[in-house]
Structure 1
């Protein structure tokens, strides 16, 4: 197909690629940009990914057609990885015109922004961005785009766009949905060491489970895939998504094959163009296109995700966790294995049909809808009359992709003008529309403070080159004609160019061999390709090294002893300790106070809480409220009441679990004549010292970041390279394995809007406690209790604080057993009540993650 460069700045189709072949195919299929991983640091470690040579090749290929390439560097990096490899890995891609990097780790964010100030940074969906406040922080740190959490609704995205109109929004529109918030899932990590935060998720959410509520199984036998969402398809609501402010329409699928990636890309290209050409009134979705997308891949039909769907049963593929295919054949009769099927759709030779899991057959013929297909199959299969068989592979779609998009690049229209004058050199000029003309990524300064381009991109409307050939001689007989020259220059063979306009100027009775004409054409196109390629080149300039001491010295503690922090999941347990003089920090859980958040001073229970908090603080113990794991704009009213309650209770600060919370509270309390402290919890990942530095750069008004929590996926050796006295080490805790907008209680119509704990039992023998957090309408899956108190290594770690999560009296016993000096300050009658087997689960303290 012919291709003309145009301004696609209104929105882009962003396609995935797990190999260079797929990357080229999705560009051929109409992608404005492609996102892919190199051979390091991508969040799909088991995708094909591209080696360095392939990365450089695809950069040139994409830029030739005015497309962009975004590199995924969207994993958490350990200290040795980020120090020794990251910048050197990126330099050749940067110098070859890499358009952007997609980042999860704030340490990676820090180093990329410092080393490549003119390289766009896109904040990955792994950063769990759910609203405008946290996104504003990322913009101020240097992000040019935020990839929203899949859980955001259209109204929430619209609010983000209204508050930050200069920040690009990228949102997923098609493909697999995660059950958990991206970046907030440790289930695979704690199951077998394969961390989703490191691009190695084993997808335990796609396994079979039973849901146990009050001792009863509430899911049916054929509804085992409780944590497996359906795939998303947003074509029916694409106008709504664009009008909400989404700029980049992201297709999931770096693990998918070339047929999937290319065909899905072509469909979103079709419908995005349709919307901009015809408007909302002319936007019509062809059912056949949706059927074809289902044929390509679906997990039990499609959902529009969280954009406008009600979370719950309709979003979950309860019966099957993988491709379900489409209904294609119905058994009319079975005579001793000779099966007569009725075709429910047009059947193609080469289509694959599933009989049982892992058992399939292939059609040898083309069959029209409602015609019959006769196949001989073993008698053992239960192919009874009336049974419907699904098609799992559509051969026609696969063939279409191969013919239309694989090895079939777009053609660029080039205007040629040749000047032939006897006694002068032959001149052939070539001109194309500059693929990057007025592209905000090239040719002008970015809207970043003290950040400038270090390269010289051309910002001309057209790219022009000239070839100067040999001197033209006078014809001895017949002279060259315009028609002959045109014939010689228009045949462009297997190049990426086709002739647009041609101007031929002949002065005098000129002789010009056809070989010279063709040579001129080849050379001018070669020069044009070189100019397009060089238009993206830039040079890496190593920055001066920052003084780290200036960023961290105020965080250090002079205390030689590790201080103690207690996190009470139930504030009533705090009364078991009569003297807090040896406790430095106390956390109270937001869930414990939520029911009181709207009542205030005249409520006796709230007064009781205030009295207990005052007692604890009287020992010079700092008291913090631990906040929810996620905050969405739809829950802001609830959150405000919670913060008002915390301020009334005179807390010293908050245990923060999201950037959205951090920014919102800092702005909300700006009217108060006081400052509050912040401790960042473990899910505010500090995998390396660079991440800590970046957190400390966040511009805050009334907050001061006073501490960090050790990352739960680093082992003891890796922690040593990160921790200092500003860190808190959880030594008795439960890890939040999953934070999800979904909730199995709601899936099975058992939602009573009451906070309670229940169980998920995997068919491999693992039990997981589920907490329904009804106050903010999400669920939390917890690990077994992690207890590092029997290890010796934790005592040698350089941390300022040791944290104990107190969920029941037995946790207080563990505390007292290991810190005998607390015995005089505790009610020891509880020691006689419990004699349970001691816990020896160590989490990742020894094993770590890949």
Structure 2
């Protein structure tokens, strides 16, 4: 086995059994979570005691442990829990943390300076500008968005020289990771807090097409390993912290095998066996595999629309049915304990004995169950494979080779010297002394006896590869004395190896976390007279409605006095017709001292970076600032020297004061209050520089996939459509073809018109109305309702559904 360390095979572990299986199967590193702040809250995860043991065990075997702290942290969690949570792992020698929250990133850099920082895929890093921004903050490794092509990953690598950790196998989210609020808004289980309910695995209807329209196949890049390596990927990340140990073992072993094959023999001799691909299919697949986004931008071939779960592999075919007896033809050797799924989806069948390929078998079906002649029967559990993986990896004994030398001489203390060379080449030598050796009166010790006694290393991390026994004279020594010598030596060796990883807690302590108290007390008194208003428009029709409302309605006087800013979607400045009309209306607003800001794309990819830069330069005189939705836009603005105001939208998440500080240090002047905090939690943050969204259909997904393309083919034209879930709830969809992504909006708008007093108490700087697909008439109606609410007379039509989002209920 090649132990090059490049590329790293990185395995998941949701339990100790999975960790053990991953190490046995050849993983260079394992990523896992403790009992807090992990993005798989429903995995078994590790207690503090277990995790400390796992860190040591990994280091003894020359592997690394990366701790996932990849959720968003609320203010109290960051202030009261994060330091004490991380400190023991930091001291033990934890190799790295994977983070999503900007505040967590800033906090760890300050309080645990010796700990490596990896940016989670939840940060939605899509290009070199965003990655460079993180590199300046001490991040050494990026897990880029899974939607990137190999060329885009290579571009980031070459531009930043950062390590690239990329997913190579397992489940794919439909949404860009970190940009999904669907589970949160529908059921209160936030994906940003590790509690995703996987709404993308449910059935939907789009323009008459029914099925699991957002359920992506699992990614499998085994055959693409040469391309992944040659494009600069440093770590092959396997998804699956919710999977069983056998899955972790099987997938890890397969990627270890073929990574080593390429490193030893190169591309010319690199071939993946069909049987190995089928083994991976037997472990888990959703209607087949796909190579992910590395070679395609999106497409229907990436989805399995007829089922969202494990599909298994073809095992038999229905020949016919007589009454309850189902006759089948066996397509492959099957084992006792294998599970077959009936084609109709009604139940399954567990084999009570082995079946051979080519045999005809009969299964007795439940009463009234019918199966179609010619239908395929799939095996969803391969019992022989699972048993083999258990025996080979899950229950494997893990020991490292050591060499030893023992010297026994009558009248002197026994001496045992142990030598260990780690997988990274580090050498450790220890020397221990035992009790004095007595001279032999009858039968002296033999080398064979001493060797047999010392070689019994049992369940320790080591075994003797070589053992030199030197007897200087006729020696007598009880076996118990030799056992004690061996135990003492191995304990000292283990201690010496692990001491090389130990740290002491950083000098920067928790007292520094209180430096925000004075900041939180410096809040302006927002009264009804100075609570401001901002409006975001995605269409020219909405912009025209805003101007007409402001000019004609008597009731708009309150609106005109409070309106300070209008955000205009970037697509309003593209095309042949809308840009000039947009600029004309913008000039009218600016004459009234109302600012015009450009709302940049939700997703910005490197291959479209030039288009975005050109847009900013073209509209430099038109706009007073920009609203950004991703780190890539922020990094790009810094690169071009943008000198106007930059405001962060709600999906640059701010759940704690450290996150605000991070963005402020990067040039953000104002923020958007988090949509996942309730009023009480918001009141614990300084919101005098934050806007609160009081109206709007909230974006719950941004996806590189396109439902239109999946169901009917690419139109290459931006537009709006709808999809419906199994309960009939309708979701608006926006196709952003300019930058090739879809935005899916919540079923009902978030409306906080009845919460104006509370918004004043939590001291937001202004209230934002976010228009998406509303018509001109609907836009004017919402403006009128808001004006009444602003004047403390809130009303809302009974026939219009709405939600308050998390403003009252919050998230766990």
Relative to the length of structure 2, the TM-score reads 0.92
Structure 2 alignment gaps of length 5 or more:
552-556
Give the structure 2 partner of residue 505 of structure 1. 470
Alignment of 1:194-273 (within 5 A): 194-212=189-207, 217=208, 219=209, 223-273=210-260
Using the TM superposition, give the Cα deviation of residue 242 of structure 1 relative to its aligned residue in structure 2, in angstroms.
Answer: 1.7
Residue 836 to residue 594, structure 1, CA distance change in 2 (3 Å): farther
1:424 and 1:785 map into 2 onto residues whose CA distance is 85
Using the TM superposition, give the Cα deviation of residue 715 of structure 1 relative to its aligned residue in structure 2, in angstroms.
Answer: 1.2
SS in 2 for 1:72: strand
Matched, 1:43 2:8: no
2:55 and 2:410 map into 1 onto residues whose CA distance is 42
Residue 329 to residue 840, structure 1, CA distance change in 2 (3 Å): closer
1:651 alignment partner, one of 606, 623, 648:
623
Matched, 1:620 2:585: no
1:275 alignment partner, one of 262, 269, 279:
262
1:815 alignment partner, one of 777, 780, 783:
783
1:358 and 1:431 map into 2 onto residues whose CA distance is 60
Using the TM superposition, give the Cα deviation of residue 470 of structure 1 relative to its aligned residue in structure 2, in angstroms.
Answer: 2.0
Alignment of 1:340-351 (within 5 A): 340-351=327-338
1:312 alignment partner, one of 296, 299, 305:
299
Matched, 1:285 2:285: no
2:102 alignment partner, one of 97, 106, 109:
106
Residue 621 to residue 550, structure 1, CA distance change in 2 (3 Å): farther
Matched, 1:738 2:722: no
Cα deviation per residue 1:545-600 (whole Å; 9 max; x = unaligned)? 1684699699976875111112122233343234956421111111212215xxxx
Cα deviation per residue 1:450-499 (whole Å; 9 max; x = unaligned)? xxxxxxxxxxx211112201223334455444344333333433333222
SS in 2 for 1:694: helix
Is this contact kept in 2: 1:551–1:693, CA < 8 A?
A: no
Give the structure 2 partner of residue 472 of structure 1. 437
Residue 83 to residue 835, structure 1, CA distance change in 2 (3 Å): closer
SS in 1 for 2:293: coil
Cα deviation per residue 1:821-840 (whole Å; 9 max; x = unaligned)? 999xxxxxxxxxx9895564
2:378 alignment partner, one of 379, 384, 390:
390
Matched, 1:407 2:395: yes
1:616 and 1:555 map into 2 onto residues whose CA distance is 32
1:741 and 1:530 map into 2 onto residues whose CA distance is 50
2:537 alignment partner, one of 545, 568, 571:
568
Range with greater deviation from structure 2 (49-58 or 178-187): 49-58
1:162 and 1:550 map into 2 onto residues whose CA distance is 42
Is this contact kept in 1: 2:754–2:789, CA < 8 A?
A: no
Using the TM superposition, give the Cα deviation of residue 305 of structure 1 relative to its aligned residue in structure 2, in angstroms.
Answer: 0.5
Matched, 1:787 2:759: no
Give the structure 1 partner of residue 554 of structure 2. none
1:334 and 1:821 map into 2 onto residues whose CA distance is 68
Using the TM superposition, give the Cα deviation of residue 178 of structure 1 relative to its aligned residue in structure 2, in angstroms.
Answer: 0.4
Give the structure 2 partner of residue 610 of structure 1. 583
2:688 and 2:139 map into 1 onto residues whose CA distance is 30
Using the TM superposition, give the Cα deviation of residue 37 of structure 1 relative to its aligned residue in structure 2, in angstroms.
Answer: 1.5
2:702 and 2:739 map into 1 onto residues whose CA distance is 12
Matched, 1:592 2:592: no
Is this contact kept in 2: 1:656–1:678, CA < 8 A?
A: yes
SS in 2 for 1:595: coil
SS in 2 for 1:432: strand
Alignment of 1:550-565 (within 5 A): 561-565=530-534
Is this contact kept in 1: 2:523–2:763, CA < 8 A?
A: no
Matched, 1:58 2:21: no
Matched, 1:724 2:719: no
1:676 and 1:45 map into 2 onto residues whose CA distance is 41
Is this contact kept in 2: 1:423–1:472, CA < 8 A?
A: yes
Give the structure 2 partner of residue 848 of structure 1. 810
Is this contact kept in 1: 2:149–2:297, CA < 8 A?
A: no
Range with greater deviation from structure 2 (609-618 or 155-164): 609-618
1:135 alignment partner, one of 111, 131, 151:
131
SS in 1 for 2:749: strand
Give the structure 2 partner of residue 538 of structure 1. 503
Matched, 1:169 2:164: yes
Give the structure 2 partner of residue 425 of structure 1. 413
2:696 and 2:483 map into 1 onto residues whose CA distance is 75
Range with greater deviation from structure 2 (7-16 or 487-496): 487-496
Is this contact kept in 2: 1:79–1:721, CA < 8 A?
A: yes
2:761 and 2:218 map into 1 onto residues whose CA distance is 47
2:516 and 2:590 map into 1 onto residues whose CA distance is 32
Give the structure 2 partner of residue 751 of structure 1. 714
SS in 1 for 2:78: helix
Range with greater deviation from structure 2 (355-364 or 543-552): 543-552
1:395 and 1:494 map into 2 onto residues whose CA distance is 28
Give the structure 2 partner of residue 449 of structure 1. none
Range with greater deviation from structure 2 (800-809 or 678-687): 800-809
Residue 19 to residue 550, structure 1, CA distance change in 2 (3 Å): closer
Is this contact kept in 1: 2:13–2:19, CA < 8 A?
A: yes
Range with greater deviation from structure 2 (355-364 or 191-200): 355-364
Is this contact kept in 2: 1:582–1:822, CA < 8 A?
A: no
Residue 705 to residue 496, structure 1, CA distance change in 2 (3 Å): closer
Matched, 1:517 2:517: no
Question: CA RMSD, aligned part only?
Answer: 2.5
SS in 1 for 2:698: strand
Using the TM superposition, give the Cα deviation of residue 153 of structure 1 relative to its aligned residue in structure 2, in angstroms.
Answer: 0.5
Using the TM superposition, give the Cα deviation of residue 152 of structure 1 relative to its aligned residue in structure 2, in angstroms.
Answer: 0.6
SS in 1 for 2:458: coil
Give the structure 1 partner of residue 345 of structure 2. 357
Using the TM superposition, give the Cα deviation of residue 225 of structure 1 relative to its aligned residue in structure 2, in angstroms.
Answer: 0.5
1:81 and 1:261 map into 2 onto residues whose CA distance is 31
Using the TM superposition, give the Cα deviation of residue 76 of structure 1 relative to its aligned residue in structure 2, in angstroms.
Answer: 1.1
2:184 and 2:788 map into 1 onto residues whose CA distance is 34
SS in 2 for 1:812: helix
Using the TM superposition, give the Cα deviation of residue 201 of structure 1 relative to its aligned residue in structure 2, in angstroms.
Answer: 0.8
Is this contact kept in 2: 1:555–1:707, CA < 8 A?
A: no
Using the TM superposition, give the Cα deviation of residue 615 of structure 1 relative to its aligned residue in structure 2, in angstroms.
Answer: 2.6
1:117 and 1:730 map into 2 onto residues whose CA distance is 37
Residue 361 to residue 590, structure 1, CA distance change in 2 (3 Å): same
Give the structure 2 partner of residue 321 of structure 1. 308
SS in 2 for 1:584: strand
Is this contact kept in 2: 1:786–1:839, CA < 8 A?
A: no
Length, aligned pairs only: 787
Matched, 1:186 2:181: yes
SS in 2 for 1:819: helix
Is this contact kept in 1: 2:338–2:381, CA < 8 A?
A: yes
Give the structure 2 partner of residue 798 of structure 1. 763
Matched, 1:373 2:368: no
Is this contact kept in 1: 2:147–2:176, CA < 8 A?
A: yes
Using the TM superposition, give the Cα deviation of residue 717 of structure 1 relative to its aligned residue in structure 2, in angstroms.
Answer: 1.2
Range with greater deviation from structure 2 (23-32 or 527-536): 527-536
Residue 508 to residue 640, structure 1, CA distance change in 2 (3 Å): same
Relative to the length of structure 1, the TM-score reads 0.88
SS in 1 for 2:38: coil
Is this contact kept in 1: 2:118–2:142, CA < 8 A?
A: yes
Using the TM superposition, give the Cα deviation of residue 70 of structure 1 relative to its aligned residue in structure 2, in angstroms.
Answer: 1.4
Structure 1 alignment gaps of length 5 or more:
438-460, 597-603, 699-703, 824-833
2:460 and 2:305 map into 1 onto residues whose CA distance is 50
Is this contact kept in 1: 2:439–2:476, CA < 8 A?
A: yes
Range with greater deviation from structure 2 (525-534 or 587-596): 525-534
